[in-house]
């Protein structure tokens, strides 16, 4: 006489779902992990998206383990266009990047700008919908290119008690030096604590990229970042609120332009 142990299906909780991606929390075999399943494109592109995300996770574990925490890659399922990775519950408890803690990002961005030999799997922002006319012009004029995130760090980069955490890595690309850092800086300017901005900037709370670019290059980067910020980052706001936010962003950039000139 013998018995068969009953198998238990993994418990799944959908954390996020849209036309292009489903993110699930998977409970199975006494472990918890994240599964990202890609959708909304051709099978070939979905397979590439899954493989790109898996390689990005491995890339950050190899090159950025001293600067930032990212989920560990667990499994790539090309048939289902899915990637499984480590679940990082501390991310939800971590603080968003603000002017008070922006200095903590310095070593991370310095590492991004020090890498000059790029992995073959990293795409250029040139092939993205975020390649606005001014971003494209930077590419055509030979602007310095470095590791970036298509301006998508405001939701994905946070600061915990142990350091920086980055959870979504699939936007990793090659882009004009400083573009994503500057976009993050502009997002911070929308904070209700914007009144404290200038006192904090005077304490050298400035983007690292400004020390890597000439004044002329910085001015061109400001213009490209503001265009991308206007066209994509604020697209969900009402026209009136968008106008207010853009005015604040202009205010910040005027200050940075004066810093660069001096």
pLDDT of residue 200: 56
Domain ranges of the chain: 11-87, 91-261
| Domain 11-87 in CATH 3.40.50.720 | no
| Contact status, residue 157 vs residue 166, Cβ threshold 8 Å | yes
pLDDT digits 0-9 by tens, 179-230: 999 999 988 877 655 545 555 555 567 899 999 999 999 999 999 999 998 8
CA distances from 261 to 32, 49, 103, 160, 200 (A): 51, 41, 22, 35, 19
CB within 8 Å of 218: residues ≥ 6 apart: 209, 210, 256, 257, 260
pLDDT digits 0-9 by tens, 137-196: 999 999 999 999 998 999 899 999 999 999 999 999 999 999 999 999 988 877 655 545
Q: Which whole number is the average pLDDT over 110-137? A: 91
pLDDT of residue 158: 96
- The mean pLDDT value of the chain amounts to 87
């Amino acid at each position: 006489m013998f018995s068969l142990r009953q198998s238990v299906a993994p418990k799944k909780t959908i954390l996020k779902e849209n036309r292009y991606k489903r993110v699930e929390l998977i409970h199975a075999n006494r472990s918890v992990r994240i599964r990202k399943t890609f959708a909304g494109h051709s099978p070939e592109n979905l397979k590439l998206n899954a493989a790109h995300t898996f390689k990005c996770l491995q890339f950050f574990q190899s090159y950025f383990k001293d600067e930032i925490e990212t989920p560990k890659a667990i499994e790539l399922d090309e048939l289902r266009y899915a990637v499984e990775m480590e679940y990082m519950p501390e991310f939800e408890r971590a603080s968003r990047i603000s002017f008070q803690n922006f200095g903590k990002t310095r070593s991370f961005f310095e590492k991004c700008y020090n890498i000059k030999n790029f992995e073959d799997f990293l795409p250029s922002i040139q092939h993205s919908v975020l390649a606005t006319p001014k971003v494209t012009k930077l590419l055509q004029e030979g602007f310095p290119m470095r590791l970036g995130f298509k301006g998508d760090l405001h939701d994905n980069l946070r600061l915990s008690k142990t350091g920086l955490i980055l959870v979504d890595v699939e936007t990793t690309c090659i882009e004009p030096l400083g573009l994503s850092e500057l976009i993050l800086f502009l997002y911070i300017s929308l904070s209700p604590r914007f009144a404290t901005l200038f006192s904090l900037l005077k304490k050298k709370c400035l983007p690292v990229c400004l020390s890597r670019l000439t004044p002329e290059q910085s001015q061109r980067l400001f213009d490209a970042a503001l265009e991308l910020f206007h066209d994509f980052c604020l697209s969900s706001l009402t026209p009136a609120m968008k106008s207010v936010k853009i005015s604040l962003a202009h205010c910040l950039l005027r200050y940075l332009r004066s810093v660069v000139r001096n």
